[in-house]
Structure 1
C-alpha cells in the first residue's frame, strides 16, 4: 500500500516537472500544463494512475487551502463592502447564465427539470482556475479581479442549496419523505455555520496565541492545518461546502497579528494540492469519448464557452460594468467548474440524468477549463488592447548640467519640502521624477522638475551626478528606491546617498545596500505627535522630549539588531520582543521618567 502511494506520488511529480515548465515557457500558464499532465498520466492515455475520481476527491483539499488564503486577505470590513458585488452582481450573473444554458439544454431535448440542473451545473465556473490565472498576472486586485472573485464566491454559496434540491427534482421524493428531512438539514447547516463564526471568533486567536508561545514552527504549522481542515470538515458534515468553511476561518483570522505567519505556513500545501487538483481534472477527462464523437464533444465545448461568455457579458453590462471589465469577465468565466462535477454526479445518482450524458458533460467541462488559459492569453494580447490603446509615453527630459550640489529623485510631498528649503537657501539642486503627471503639476507652481527615471545612468550623468555631492532618494515605492540606490552605488560611488524609507523593512534593505543616511518617513512625525500627547497628559515639555530622546537611539539600536538577523523571521520576531522588554526596563530605570508619568494623571485630576 505504501509502495503504491509513493509510486503514484512519483508519477505525479515527474509529470508535473516535465510538462508544466514546457507550457509555462510557451506562455500558456501553469494551469493548462497541469491539466495536460493529468490527461497524459490518466486512464484515457497512459493509464499510469487509474483511480482519477479518488485523486480528485483528495485534491479538493487544494481548493480548501486556496479559499482559506483568500479569506486571510479579506478583512470582515472589506467583505461587507463587497456584499453588493457578491449578492447583487452574483445573483444576476447566475440567473442570466442558468436561464441561457437551461434553454439551450431544453432545446437539445432534455426535459425541464433535467435541463434546469444541467444549465445551473454548467453555469458554475472554476474558482481555482480563475483565481490562479488572475494571480499569475497579478490582477486579483483589479476591478475585474474583484468582480470575478465576488461572482465565484456567490456561485459556491448558490451550489449548496441546489445540491440539496437535486434529489427532490427526481420525482416523488419530497412527497414520500415530507419536508422534515429538508428542514432538519437546513437547521443543521445553519447551526454549523453560526457555530463556526461564533466559535472561531472567540477560540481561534487564543489558539494561535498558545501555538506561537511554544516558539515551535512545527506546532504553529500544525495549528494552521488543524484550523483549516477542522473548519472544512465541520461544514462538510453539515452538508455545506468544505471550501466555504475554510474561507470563513480565513476571514476570521484576517485581522489577526498572526496572519502573515499563517499565510507563509499554508502556502506550500496550497500550491502542491492545487496542482494536484488540476491534474486530477485532466485525469477525469474521458478522451475516448472525444475520439468516438469528436464533432459532438467539440461542438458542445465551443457552444458552452460561447454561451457562457455571452451570458457573462450581458450580466456585466446589466450590472453597469464597462466594456473592458465586461469582456475580461466574459473570457475569465467562460468555462465550467469543479462544482459542476459534483452536481452532475448527484443528478446521475438521483436518476435525473443518464450516466452516459453525465460522462459527456464532465468531459465538456474539463475541455472548457482547458480553453480558458488559451483564450485569456489571446484576450490579453489582442481584444483587451482595443478598449484602451496604449498612449505613447512621453520621452524623458534631458536635464541640463547646472552643477547641482544635490540631486533629488522623486518630488512628491517628501521631496517638495526639501526642495523648498534648498530653494530658500539658494543651494542649487536638480529634480528627477518618473511620474509625468506629477511633473506637470509641480511645474505649474514654478518648480524646475525634469521627467525621467533616476535609475537611468544616462539621465543621472546629464543631470550632473558626476559632480554633485549628494543624491536624495525621495521616491515612495520601495522597489524603485532600491533600483536607484543600487545603480548609483555602482556607477557613482562618490555620491553620498540619502534615502527615505517607507518602513523598517525598507530601511533594512537600504542599509544592506550601503546607505547610511536614512529617514523613516513616519518616524519623526509619529515621535513628535507622541511628545505632544505626553505633554497633553500633563508631563512637562522637557521631560516629554527626554522620553522621545531616550526612545530614538534605542529604536535605532533595535533596527541594527534586526538587520543582523535579516531574512530569519523567527529571530526577527524574537529581536522585536526583546527590544520591547528592553525599552520598558530602560524607562523603569529612569526614575525621573517613571515619576513624571505616574504623577501626570494626578495633576490632571
Structure 2
C-alpha cells in the first residue's frame, strides 16, 4: 500500500468495520462500543488480513480523546455534582481506592511491581461515562435519584482521573517507570513544576478563556453561518487542547476538558454541543477502534485466568464495594443495586490512563491487553447486569430478613414524617416531586386539592417542607414509605416518576390497600404505557404523544381554527389513537 493512502485506508477501514461490527452488536442487543473495539481487533496487526496503520490510528485516537474530554467538560455540571455530593464524592473516592487495592494485589500475585499494580488498579477503578449515560438514557433513569447519583459518582471519578493524568508523569520514576523527556529527576521539584503549570493554565482559562471564548462564539453566531459556528467550536476544542500541551506542558485531555468547561459558560453551549456531536461521535468511534487495534487476542488463550480475575474485580469487586458504600448512606435496596450495576464496567478513561502508563513504562503490554479484554467483556455484560438487578430487587424485597441485612429498617431511615397531615382524606398523592411533579402540585394547590408528595431527594423534601408542603422522604415502592401518605384514604395517585418499573410497583401497592384509588402515570414509550396499564394505571400520559397533540393544536389555531374547534379535533384523535403510531 502506498504511504500516501495509509491515512485514508486506516480511516475507511476503521469506520467501515466499526459500522459492521457495531451493527452486529446492536442486533445482538449489545452496546455498540463492543462492536467498535472488536472492529479494531479485526483491523489490528495481531489478526490476519488487512491491517491498519497503528501509529496513524493512535494519532486519530488523540483527536478522539480531545473531543471526548471536550464533551465531558461541556456537560460538566457543578450543580448536578453538588446535589448528590454527600454520597457521590466519598462513594467514588472509597470505591476507587478499593478497586485500586484489588488491582494491586492481583498484579502483585502475577509478579508485577507495586507501581505497575497501582496504575493497573487505577485503570480498573474508573467506569465508562459513555456506557453509563447510554444505559441510563435507555432506561429513562437520568432524571431519577438513582441516575443523578450514578452520574455524580462518574463526574467525581472523571475529575480524579484527570488529576491522575496530570500527576502520573511527575511520579513515574518513584513508581518504577521512566520520566518523560526533559523532566527533572527531583520528585518534589517535578511535582511543584507540574502543579504550577496546571495552575497557570487554569488561571488563564478562568480569567481569559471564560470571557474570550463565549465572546468569540457570540460574534460568530451573529454571522448566521452554521458552518462558521461549527468550525469555531472545533477550533476552540482542538486549539485549546494543543495550546495547553505546547505552552503549559499539560495533556491534550486536560486542555480539552477545560475547553469544554469554558464553552459551557456560554449561552450558546447547547448549540456548541449539538454541532460538535457528529465529530465527537466519529472520532470517538476511531478512538475505540484504535484501542481494539492494540489488543492481542492471544491473551485470551495465554492468560484466561488473569482475564477472569480482572473481570471479577471490575464486575464483582467494584459492584460489591459500591453496594456497601450506598448501603452505609441508608439508600433503598433498588438504589444500591442500580449504582452497583452502573459501575460494573470500564471504558474510555481506563484506555487513556493505560496508554499513558504504557508510554511511561509503568504498565506492561500484557496489562493493556487485560484491560481491553475486561472492557469488552464488562461492557457486553452490562445489559445482563441490569436485567439481573431488576429481578433481584423484588426478590430481596419479598424476603424481610435478607432485606434487613442489606438495608436499614424503615423506622431507622432518615425519612420525614407527615404525622401532622394524618387527617387528610380524599387527597391526592404525587410520586416524585421534580419538575413534572412540582408543576402538578402547584396546579392542585391552586385548585384547592389537598395532596401529599413523596420524593427520594432529601434536600428537595426539606426545602418543600419548609414551605409548608406535606412531603414524605424515601422510596415509594416501600410499603412503609407509601403508607405515610395514607393511600387507603386517598382519591388519586399521580406517578410523576420517570421510572415505569417503580411506578408499576407503587400503583399495585396503592391499589392493594385502596382498590378504588384512581392512578395516573407518565411514560416515555408505548411499551412503558402498556406495562403501567397492566399494573393498574387508569390513565397513562405518554410524553411524546401529548407533545404531538400540543403542537397539532397550535398548528390548527395558527391555520385559522378557533380554540374550541382545534381542541375538539385533537381530542377526537386522542381518543382514536390510544398509543403512538409504531413508526413514531
TM tier, smaller = 0.5 to 0.7
Is the 2:341–2:389 Cα contact (8 Å) retained in structure 1? no
State the 1:48 CA deviation: 2.4
What is the match of residue 373 of structure 2?
Answer: 367
Runs of 5+ unmatched residues, structure 2: 398-438, 450-490, 496-502, 511-515, 524-538, 565-584
TM-score by length of 2: 0.64
What is the match of residue 215 of structure 1?
Answer: 224
State the 1:134 CA deviation: 3.6
Find the aligned partners of 2:152 and 2:178 in 1 and give their Cα distance.
Answer: 42
User: Residue 167 of structure 1: SS of its match in structure 2?
Assistant: coil
Cα pair distance change 1:91/1:53, threshold 3 Å: farther
Is the 1:482–1:510 Cα contact (8 Å) retained in structure 2? no
Query: Is it true that 1:62 corresponds to 2:108 in the alignment?
Result: no
Runs of 5+ unmatched residues, structure 1: 392-409, 421-430, 442-447, 456-473, 486-500, 519-605
What is the match of residue 390 of structure 2?
Answer: 384
Cα pair distance change 1:329/1:82, threshold 3 Å: closer
State the 1:269 CA deviation: 0.7
Is the 1:19–1:34 Cα contact (8 Å) retained in structure 2? yes
User: Residue 55 of structure 1: SS of its match in structure 2?
Assistant: helix
What does the per-residue CA deviation read over 1:125-177, in whole Å, with 9 as the maximum and x for residues that have no partner? 33434344444444444132332333333333334323421223228989954
Query: Is it true that 1:259 corresponds to 2:269 in the alignment?
Result: yes
Find the aligned partners of 1:163 and 1:133 in 2 and give their Cα distance.
Answer: 33
What is the match of residue 296 of structure 2?
Answer: 286
What is the match of residue 252 of structure 2?
Answer: 242
Corresponding residue pairs, total = 442
State the 1:79 CA deviation: 4.8
Is the 1:16–1:37 Cα contact (8 Å) retained in structure 2? yes
Query: Is it true that 1:310 corresponds to 2:334 in the alignment?
Result: no
Find the aligned partners of 2:448 and 2:43 in 1 and give their Cα distance.
Answer: 65
What is the match of residue 563 of structure 2?
Answer: 517
User: Residue 48 of structure 1: SS of its match in structure 2?
Assistant: coil
Find the aligned partners of 1:3 and 1:315 in 2 and give their Cα distance.
Answer: 52
Find the aligned partners of 2:347 and 2:207 in 1 and give their Cα distance.
Answer: 31
Is the 2:108–2:114 Cα contact (8 Å) retained in structure 1? yes
Cα pair distance change 1:332/1:294, threshold 3 Å: same
State the 1:476 CA deviation: 9.2
Is the 1:68–1:246 Cα contact (8 Å) retained in structure 2? yes
What is the match of residue 269 of structure 1?
Answer: 279
State the 1:510 CA deviation: 6.9
Alignment of 1:46-85 (within 5 A): 46-52=48-54, 54-81=56-83, 84=86
Cα pair distance change 1:182/1:450, threshold 3 Å: closer
Alignment of 1:492-511 (within 5 A): none
Alignment of 1:550-569 (within 5 A): none
Cα pair distance change 1:415/1:202, threshold 3 Å: same
Is the 1:192–1:234 Cα contact (8 Å) retained in structure 2? no
Is the 1:52–1:280 Cα contact (8 Å) retained in structure 2? yes
What does the per-residue CA deviation read over 1:11-53, in whole Å, with 9 as the maximum and x for residues that have no partner? 2232133222221122112111212222222222245233335
What is the match of residue 173 of structure 2?
Answer: 167
Cα pair distance change 1:240/1:323, threshold 3 Å: farther
Alignment of 1:24-103 (within 5 A): 24-52=26-54, 54-81=56-83, 84=86, 87-103=89-105
State the 1:266 CA deviation: 0.8
Alignment of 1:134-213 (within 5 A): 134-141=136-143, 142=147, 143-170=149-176, 177=186, 179-213=188-222
Find the aligned partners of 1:322 and 1:239 in 2 and give their Cα distance.
Answer: 46
What is the match of residue 497 of structure 1?
Answer: none
Cα pair distance change 1:17/1:515, threshold 3 Å: farther
Find the aligned partners of 2:235 and 2:202 in 1 and give their Cα distance.
Answer: 18
The structure with the largest alpha-carbon Rg is 1
What does the per-residue CA deviation read over 1:490-548, in whole Å, with 9 as the maximum and x for residues that have no partner? xxxxxxxxxxx6xxx79756758997529xxxxxxxxxxxxxxxxxxxxxxxxxxxxxx
Query: Is it true that 1:325 corresponds to 2:335 in the alignment?
Result: yes
User: Residue 172 of structure 2: SS of its match in structure 1?
Assistant: helix
State the 1:350 CA deviation: 5.0
Alignment of 1:469-548 (within 5 A): 479-482=544-547, 485=549, 516-517=562-563
Find the aligned partners of 1:375 and 1:509 in 2 and give their Cα distance.
Answer: 46
Alignment of 1:452-463 (within 5 A): none
What does the per-residue CA deviation read over 1:299-331, in whole Å, with 9 as the maximum and x for residues that have no partner? 344343333333443444445554433333333
Cα pair distance change 1:147/1:125, threshold 3 Å: closer
What is the match of residue 478 of structure 2?
Answer: none
Is the 1:208–1:258 Cα contact (8 Å) retained in structure 2? yes
TM-score by length of 1: 0.62
What does the per-residue CA deviation read over 1:79-113, in whole Å, with 9 as the maximum and x for residues that have no partner? 55465556433322222222222233234433433
State the 1:361 CA deviation: 1.4
Aligned CA-pair RMSD: 4.3
User: Residue 22 of structure 1: SS of its match in structure 2?
Assistant: helix
User: Residue 264 of structure 2: SS of its match in structure 1?
Assistant: coil
Is the 1:87–1:154 Cα contact (8 Å) retained in structure 2? no
Find the aligned partners of 2:119 and 2:448 in 1 and give their Cα distance.
Answer: 67
Is the 1:232–1:243 Cα contact (8 Å) retained in structure 2? yes
State the 1:279 CA deviation: 1.7
State the 1:70 CA deviation: 4.0
Find the aligned partners of 1:512 and 1:17 in 2 and give their Cα distance.
Answer: 44
Query: Is it true that 1:233 corresponds to 2:242 in the alignment?
Result: yes
Find the aligned partners of 2:522 and 2:111 in 1 and give their Cα distance.
Answer: 67
Is the 2:205–2:262 Cα contact (8 Å) retained in structure 1? no
Cα pair distance change 1:318/1:193, threshold 3 Å: farther
Find the aligned partners of 1:349 and 1:454 in 2 and give their Cα distance.
Answer: 51
Cα pair distance change 1:479/1:121, threshold 3 Å: closer
State the 1:224 CA deviation: 0.6
Is the 1:140–1:146 Cα contact (8 Å) retained in structure 2? no
